[in-house]
Structure 1
Amino acid sequence: MQVHILASGSTGNVAYFKFGNTRLLVDAGISARRIETKLALIGVKAGDIDGVLITHEHVDHIKGLDVFIRRYHLPVFARAATWEAIPCRHKLPPECCITIEDQFQIGGVEAEAHNISHDAVDPVGFSFHYRRKKWVIATDMGIITENVLKALAGADLVVLESNHDRDMLKNGPYPRFLKQRIAGRYGHLSNHDAAAVLARISRKEQMQVFLAHLSQENNHPDLALKTVSDSLLKQGCQPGEDIKLHLTYPDTTMSFTG
């Protein structure tokens, strides 16, 4: 099992997961050429992908979808309302556009879509079950709902949003309406929110956690890592032991094999 976070942040999001012989992309928020290049750097041919899963229709999650799918004719999995909101939907081969419910299967992987709180038509995160392991991706959330807590519980690996530092957002250059949107219930989780979630959920002996979707304007990787680590310590968790934290970046691939 492998995960490679190819790009993460407001400029684009793509994650590659490998479960045995099943290869999946979650989102396609950078150009098709960049996706191809980044996959090649980890030894993967774009045409060998078994499916692309879309969390929601915002451009930083679907920027490269049109070209990438028409070039490689890959199956794409998304909610019905999300398909209606994706601008390039009419350009894609109909047989590539697959509508999902809560549970579905791709190759040897059991996948679940869980609803999240974000300002999109029907946004979701995904849980993947393979050989008694559970890996979850959950970003672009303003709040943590009970179904998200359920999805995260007992996970071996989580890609979790840690979008902004509260003080940086409050004192930063964004207009007031945008600050309110980011900090609101349909916006994004802060570093403190991410730590609070991790402290609440039931865990196995060690959980691998990628802090994802970090804002380039309202956060910094070192700050996110320190804030989450310090908060976890105060709540009785041991970063590096109970929870192993990994950072993500807009342009640098971050990986884990387990």
Structure 2
Amino acid sequence: MQIHVLASGSTGNAIFVDMDDTKILIDAGISARRIKQSLDAIGAKIEDIDGVLVTHEHRDHVNGLPTLLKKYRLPAYACPDTWQAMYCRAELPDDCCLSLADSLDIGKIKVEPFSISHDAADPVGFRLYAGGNKVSIATDLGFVTPTVKGALALSDVLVLESNHDIDMLKNGKYPWPLKKRIMSNRGHLANTDAGWTLARLARKAHTHVFLAHLSRENNRPELAETTVADILTNQGCKLGQDITLHLTYPEQISGLSRNTK
């Protein structure tokens, strides 16, 4: 099993997952050229992708879709309202734009989307199952609902938003309406929220967690890691044994290639 966060943040998002020889791309918010280069760097081929899953229509999650679908004719799945709200929908080949179901099989991966709270048309996270492993992705969410908590439970690998530090955001240069939007229930998850979510989550013996969608303006990778780690440690979690934390970056690949069973 391989999970590689090719890019994460407000400048673009893309995650590559390979489970049981089925290859899926979650979001395509960076250019198709950069996706190809990133996949080449980890020994994968863009032509071998079995499907693209789209979490929501914001540009930092779909900017690469037009070239990706037109050039490589990959099947892409999104909620109907997401397709309708997408700025580039008219540029996309109709036969590549497929509707998400409550559950679907792509190759050997079972995909189960779940609703999240974000200011988009119909945003979702994803649970991916194959070979006895579970990978869950939840970024761009204002708060963790019971539905989200249940969806993330007992994951082998989890990609979870840790967008901002509250104090940095409040004291930063963003205008107040934008700060209010980020801190709202339909905005983004703070470092402390990510930490408490993990601390209260039903977990397997060992979980790998990627802290994702870190703000360049209102966060620092080491601050996100320290904040989450402190909460987990204070709640009795043994880092490196119960949970291993991985950081993600806007222009750097973060990956895990191993059997996590």
Shift of 1:12: 0.3
Shift of 1:32: 1.2
Aligned length: 258
CA distance in 1, matches of 2:242, 2:45: 35
Shift of 1:60: 0.3
Shift of 1:86: 1.2
1:191-226 alpha-carbon deviations (Å, 9 max, x no partner):
000000001111111100000000000000000000
Contact kept? 2:27, 2:54, Cα under 8 Å = yes
Normalised by the length of structure 2, the TM-score is 0.97
Shift of 1:190: 0.4
Shift of 1:33: 1.1
1:120 aligns with 2:117: no
Q: Which amino acid aligns with 2:91?
A: K
For 1:75, the equivalent position in structure 2 comes to 75
CA distance in 2, matches of 1:198, 1:146: 13
Q: Which amino acid aligns with 2:146?
A: E
Give the gaps of 5 or more residues in structure 2.
Answer: none
CA distance in 2, matches of 1:204, 1:20: 20
1:102-251 matched pairs, under 5 angstroms: 102-251=102-251
1:46 aligns with 2:55: no
For 1:93, the equivalent position in structure 2 comes to 93
Q: Which amino acid aligns with 1:52?
A: V
Contact kept? 2:165, 2:219, Cα under 8 Å = yes
Quote the RMSD (CA, aligned, Å): 0.8
CA distance in 2, matches of 1:208, 1:109: 19
1:77-120 alpha-carbon deviations (Å, 9 max, x no partner):
00010010112222222211110122111001111000000000
Q: State the 4+ residue runs in structure 1 displaced beyond 6 angstroms.
A: none
Give the 3-state SS of the residue equivalent to 2:185 in structure 1: coil
CA distance in 2, matches of 1:57, 1:42: 27
CA distance in 1, matches of 2:196, 2:172: 23
Shift of 1:229: 0.4
Give the 3-state SS of the residue equivalent to 1:144 in structure 2: coil
Contact kept? 2:20, 2:131, Cα under 8 Å = no
CA distance in 2, matches of 1:180, 1:87: 24
Contact kept? 2:209, 2:245, Cα under 8 Å = yes
Shift of 1:4: 0.6
Normalised by the length of structure 1, the TM-score is 0.98
CA distance in 2, matches of 1:144, 1:33: 34
Q: Which amino acid aligns with 2:164?
A: H
Shift of 1:253: 0.3
Percent of residue pairs identical? 53
Give the 3-state SS of the residue equivalent to 1:9 in structure 2: coil
Shift of 1:237: 1.2
Give the 3-state SS of the residue equivalent to 2:57 in structure 1: coil
